[in-house]
Amino acid sequence: MNGILSGLRVVEGSAFVAAPLCGMTLAQMGADVIRFDLPGGGIDYRRWPMAHTGLSIYWASLNKGKRSLVVDFRQPEGQELLSELITAPGDGRGILSTNFPMHGWLDYETLKMRRNDLIAMNIIGNPDGSVAVDYTVNSAVGFPFVTGEGAEEAPVNHVFPGWDVSTGYAAAMGILAAERHRYLTGEGQHVKLSLADVAFATVGNLGYIGEVQINNEERPNVGNSVYGSYGADFATNDGRRVMIIAVSVSQWKKLVDATESAAAMVKLEGELGLDFAKEEHRYEAREPIGEIIAAWCSAHTLAEVRATFEKNNVCWGPYQTFTQMVAEDPRCTPANPLFQEVEQPGIGSYLIPGVPHQFSAVERTHPHSPQLGEHTDEILADDLGLSSGEIGTLHDRSIIAGPK
Amino acid sequence: MNGILSGLRVVEGSAFVAAPLCGMTLAQMGADVIRFDLPGGGIDYRRWPMAHTGLSIYWASLNKGKRSLVVDFRQPEGQELLSELITAPGDGRGILSTNFPMHGWLDYETLKMRRNDLIAMNIIGNPDGSVAVDYTVNSAVGFPFVTGEGAEEAPVNHVFPGWDVSTGYAAAMGILAAERHRYLTGEGQHVKLSLADVAFATVGNLGYIGEVQINNEERPNVGNSVYGSYGADFATNDGRRVMIIAVSVSQWKKLVDATESAAAMVKLEGELGLDFAKEEHRYEAREPIGEIIAAWCSAHTLAEVRATFEKNNVCWGPYQTFTQMVAEDPRCTPANPLFQEVEQPGIGSYLIPGVPHQFSAVERTHPHSPQLGEHTDEILADDLGLSSGEIGTLHDRSIIAGPK
């Protein structure tokens, strides 16, 4: 694979979303990412959604472009092989990414004795190292009480694992920052990044901590509406729904034009003594504004809404189920360079995304996922210099395994 | 500021969440990030939450650690000043990050004529450059129909702007990848990154496109439960709620031990012919399992649940409003190195997060946000070499502005 990160090598011990996504993003950009797993696969090897062939679509989707190495790292010899691989010499090497606890053989100081400039990214749950996952972090940071009909007795969890995904990209960014620093100074780094810190930092970065501490208020639940500006969702007359946004004056004018509601809005402004050029006034009047927009939307089909809004450059989007997204949206087809139809061995052919970044000077690639253990022998021979006899012995003694 | 990215300089033209977060993360890691704005501030300068002093807590929270330059880039002389700054020579310089349309004076090829190895990160809405924001992207990618009570006639928007935050970190990662490539090859890069592609890629990366295309099924709405494993939320007897997760056998055993429900679970397994060591069986039996856990939780206060779950290393978290998070959670205090109490000029003193990454070899810093235009004169003098007379003339002619 050739990509913008070619020459970088990362050894990954991972499960679930954040750590696999970090390594996958690096791999899709051309880094050599070696994911190691126990024989039979890690804790996420059978995670849903599963294909009827018995392979996990989830696992295949989060490990694209990596090489797969199966080593029994419960055994000292397996630990020794991995330690050697993690700390092997060379520019762009000596990088570990893991969401496993860095204890015992994976302890940073222990590994560092073999390579002094080792970079290790350790994705953890809580900053103190205790366990937490996206769901148990999300519950703590306020959002479930202001999502949907979320209320004190019935908070609403998000389903998009946004803390995992944000952490995955932040981890990849942290590895590149540490590697840049090492390139310039020669110094290695042990980086800790917790899901909880990503979430707590985000609440602060959006101003909600300041709102509590400075204003003694907190962001209210306004359902699907946008807080402090204008945005809401509406039904079309063919049973579909659309999300409409007007956070700028320009977006507001386009919406009013597209829905031919200028006269109605002027009348409403007069009645309420408000000026809808101000976003806080649009927010204050969101219910009566919504009645006007709702009447227009409910008189048109989704196709008509789309045609009018596209012509007028309205900021809007249709609601789509996962099936509708795949069936209807041109952004989810090979016409969008993000996607290609790729054959994933053991699962079948389906649309596989590359990295979301489109770099002008390198091509976007669409690698599939490895088979578990597919590259075990290759890595031991090429990267660790073991002979075929030595590799055979390790297989016989169940220290390593190849694909089934 | 001294940090892991010291020596990097990024010029930023931005608004809202993704692009400001990208630059802020780089700045908090020690890069010199210069945000340029029109006189009076950009479209997000008054965004909610607002402090009673008239300054935006939101704006202050997303621009920490940057330098602020106010230039009227509607005027050719303002465009010329910014073009010179963006393309100034030097290692680690020549980097633009923007969510503005890269047309006219901001066109990549035009800027590249001044610096051939320019790196430009352009955060956009849709891959074709058309407008989209977090809300209008989220509506298209399936999640609102499987969140909360989300249904065909009433989809539920997430409130955490997860596509914005993911895109912000992915953009920072993309800039570092491009800068690494430039360092090694001398080649610049125009990078496009759309909110929509981040969202569509994520749906693919989680396996939900494969689920539709391979299985002809889609992820169902299971409310606050975890899909394909065990996780649910419960009330305590003092009116609070907790999220509990058991995605691994080990987490399941800890939960059963902590809630003293081993006998009840064995009985249930027998009745249903299931084996709760298998996560798909825990998922299948999530309702009767939930009744057993609910009975235990409703007999204990949150404090009792916490003590028992911490002792047993259960994977769980309390639900907290934004206010409860600030008032009760030790992770949201200066005891967590993520946070420091910082005085933000014009707003007040409150808890400000640094980057979520904890690097071992550099200290985490907690810069506050600049005043709008605070660094205009300094940047024009130090970075563009203008004399105080020239700077005075630019002020007089309203090409530039300082702080109010």
Q: What is the CA radius of gyration of chain B?
A: 26
CA-nearest residue to A323 within chain B is B212
As a dihedral over the C-alpha atoms of residue A89, residue A93, residue A97, residue A101, rounded to 10 degrees, the angle is 10
B95-140 per-position pLDDT tens digit:
999 999 999 999 999 999 999 999 999 999 999 999 999 999 999 9
Picking from B190, B239, B352, the nearest residue to A204 by CB comes out as: B352
Q: What is the pLDDT of residues B153-174, one digit of tens each?
A: 999 999 999 999 999 999 999 9
- What residues of chain B lie within 8 A of the CB of A215, using their CB? 49, 51-52, 57
Distances (CA, A) of B402 to A339, B154, B306, B371: 46, 48, 51, 9
Interchain pair B317, A241: CB under 8 A: no
Is A357's Cβ below 8 Å from some Cβ in B? yes
ipTM higher than the 0.85 cut: yes
Report CA-CA distances (Å) from B286 to B234, B245, B265, B266, B281. Answer: 13, 11, 11, 14, 8
CA dist., res. A198 & res. A204, Å (int): 10
Judged on CB neighbours under 10 Å (0-12, 13-18, 19+), A249 is middle
On whether any CB of chain B is under 8 Å from the CB of A313, the answer is: yes
Residue owning tokens 């596989």: A352
pLDDT at A8: 98
Give A162→chain B minimum CA distance, Å.
5
Interface touch A214/B347, C-beta < 8 Å:
yes
Q: Is A308 on the interface with B (CB under 8 A)?
A: no
The answer to whether B369 faces chain A, any CB pair under 8 Å, is no
Chain B CA closest to residue A196: B331
CB nearest B155 (choices: A160, A241, A354): A241
Rounded to an integer, what distance in angstroms lies between the CA atom of residue B157 and that of residue A233? 9
Task: Name chain A contacts of B16, Cβ cutoff 8 Å.
Answer: 247
| Chosen from B8, B29, B50, B139 to mutate, greatest number of chain A CBs within 10 A | B139
Distance of residue A272 Cα from the nearest chain B Cα, in angstroms? 22
Chain A residues touching residue B169 (CB < 8 angstroms): 166, 169-170, 173
- Cβ <8 Å between B25 and A166: no
CB contact under 8 A, B166 and A166: yes
Rg of the Cα trace of chain A? 26
Q: Convert the pLDDT of each residue in B27-86 to its tens digit.
A: 999 999 999 999 999 999 999 999 999 999 999 999 999 999 999 999 999 999 999 999
3-state class percentages of chain B: helix first, strand second, coil last, to nearest 5: 40, 15, 40
- Which residues of B fall within a CB distance of 8 Å from A352? 204
Query: Which candidate in B126, B133, B183, B206 is best for mutational testing of the A interface (most A CBs within 10 A)?
Result: B206
What confidence score (pLDDT) does residue A2 get? 63
What pLDDT does B404 receive? 85
Predicted TM-score (pTM) of the model is: 0.98
Judge whether A233 counts as a catalytic residue: no
Chain A touched by B21 (CB under 8 Å): yes
Q: Which of A2, A117, A122, A166 to mutate to test the interface with B (most CBs of B within 10 A)?
A: A166
Of A152 and B190, more confident: B190
Strand pairing class (B9-13; B32-37): parallel
CB proximity list for A28: less than 8 A, separation 6 or greater: A3, A64, A65, A354, A355, A365, A367
Q: How many CB atoms are closer than 10 A to CB A235? A: 16
Q: For A4, which of B178, B213, B347 is closest by C-beta distance?
A: B178
List the end-to-end C-alpha distance of chain B, in Å, as a whole number. Answer: 24
Active site residues of B: 164
Give the closest-approach CA distance of B105 to chain A in angstroms: 19
Taking CA–CA distances from A157, the nearest residue in chain B reads: B224
| β-strand partners of B34 | B11, B67
Search chain B and give the residue with CA nearest A61.
B205
Q: Among A44, A164, A377, A383, which one carries the catalytic annotation?
A: A164
Residue of A nearest to B361 (CA): A189
> Distance between CA A17 and CA A329 in Å, rounded?
25
Q: Residue A21: in which H helix or E strand, if any?
A: helix A18-28
- Cβ–Cβ of A331/B196 closer than 8 Å? yes
- What's the pLDDT score for residue A1? 45
Chain A interface test: which of B198, B214, B298 (most A C-beta within 10 Å): B214
Look at A350 and B61 and tell me if their CB atoms are within 8 Å.
Answer: no
Mutate which of B62, B109, B173 to disrupt the A interface (most A C-beta within 10 Å)?
Answer: B173
What gap in Å lies between CA B188 and CA B229, rounded to an integer? 46
Of the partner residues A5, A140, A218, the one whose CB lies closest to the CB of residue B318: A140
Judge whether residue B344 has pLDDT over 70.
yes
Question: B131 touching A, CB under 8 A?
Answer: yes
B358 at interface of A, judged by CB pairs closer than 8 A:
yes
In chain A, which stretches have pLDDT less than 50?
Answer: 1
What residue of B is the nearest CA neighbor of A24? B205
Please check whether residue A24 touches B, CB under 8 A.
yes
Query: In the prediction, which pLDDT does B1 show?
Result: 45
Q: Which residue of B has its CA nearest to A48?
A: B228
pLDDT tens for each residue of B69-100? 999 999 999 999 999 999 999 999 999 999 99
Contact assignment for B313 to A137 by CB distance below 8 Å: no
